[in-house]
Amino acid sequence: MERGNQTAVGNFLLLGFAEDSDAQLLLCGLFLSMYLVTITGNLLIILTISSDSHLHTPMYFFLSNLSFADICFTSTTVPKMLVNIQTQSKMITFAGCLTQIFFFIAFGCLDNLLLTVMAYDRFVAICHPLRYTVIMNPWLCGLLVLGSWCISVMGSMLETLTILRLSFCTNMEIPHFFCDPSEVLKLACSDTFINNIVIYFVTIVLGVFPLCGILFSYSQIFSSILRVSSARGQHKAFSTCGSHLSVVSLFYGTGLGVYLSSAATPSSRTSLAASVMYTMVTPMLNPFIYSLRNRDMKGSLGRLLLRATSLKQGTIAKLS
């Protein structure tokens, strides 16, 4: 490849979904609604946990961090896509693309690690209930969350920095609505062997190992639950980890769906639809799963909304 057909820095084009203007407006309205529901739902989870002292436990501390990570993860891709649809522009700068890749990987890995930490929390709660408060002390909880953040940032930085060494061809079109790292690598004219090695390494360390940790935790949890003699005790034990297990299934299920769809039909509409599932739908559903399947969360959320309604009515009464 001639050097004249390469560039180290340039602008990328995010091709997105539909070309028809009416379809674009419909998608913009749909994705904006999903984004607002995601932000509102996860903020309510954070506010509910922070305002209720009964929820100041390790499980809900990790949940509030997961909700914050979901907000940031969605905000990495959706606002730029909405702006592009609204302005009829598909352009994103090289620096903007790298920034999007960095935060997309960082918050995606953070989600993964937090789910693993939450699985460990459920493992200790069910398998070692008498030692739970001793093991899951505030110092360890803070260390687990801080470690998850640091590892996610380092893994993301490693992948992002290796992209800086690449040269890109004149074709800068990304058949996606955001700068997907795998799609960006396909546009490179220089050798991507090191990049692929780094991707595999980060995927194994921050993807496969945490998943193995989750599976091991739940194998121990199920084994412990089956040893409980009463049906009521088994039901109570299952209910304590049901919400988390649902979120884990949704998170890894959509991620696996994206991988399989990309492998079967690369750069297809199916791959785009699958990407929407894990970038928008999963963060949007997480608050509903935790609030609807959790009695404590439903009660605290109801009290929070009741206080907000009473405060609003009191303010209106004073003004009138």
Q: What is the CATH number of the domain that holds 153?
A: 1.20.1070.10
Residue 307 lies in a domain: no
Alpha carbons 166 and 175: distance in angstroms, whole number: 19
Q: Give a yes or no: residue 38 inside a domain.
A: yes
pLDDT digits (tens, 9 = 90+) for 46-59: 998 988 888 889 99
Q: What pLDDT band is residue 7 in, cutting at 50, 70 and 90?
A: very low
Residue 318 lies in a domain: no
Instruction: Confirm if 61 and 141 have CB atoms less than 8 A apart.
Output: yes
Residue 272 lies in a domain: yes
Residue span of the structural domain in which 198 resides: 3-293
Asked if residue 34 is part of any domain, the answer here is: yes
What's this model's pTM, rounded to 2 decimal places? Answer: 0.88
In contact, 80 and 13? CB cutoff 8 Å = no
**Chain segment 161-181, per-residue pLDDT in tens:** 999 888 887 778 888 889 988
**pLDDT for residue 259:** 65
Q: Name the domain count of the chain.
A: 1
Q: Does 304 map to a domain?
A: no
The answer to whether residue 28 is domain-embedded is: yes
Q: What are phi and psi of 171, to 5 degrees?
A: -80, 110
* pLDDT (0 to 100) of residue 270: 65
The verdict on residue 29 lying in a domain is yes
- DSSP letters along the chain, please? --GGGEESS-EEEE--S--SHHHHHHHHHHHHHHHHHHHHHHHHHHHHHHH-GGG-SHHHHHHHHHHHHHHHHHHHHHHHHHHHHHHT--EEEHHHHHHHHHHHHHHHHHHHHHHHHHHHHHHHHHHSGGGHHHHT-HHHHHHHHHHHHHHHHHHHHHHHHHHTT--EES--EESSSS--HHHHHHTB-S--HHHHHHHHHHHIIIIIHHHHHHHHHHHHHHHHHHT--SHHHHHHHHHHHHHHHHHHHHHHHHHHHHHHHHHHSTT-HHHHHHHHIIIIIHHHHHHHHHHHS-HHHHHHHHHHHHHHHHHHHHHHHHH-
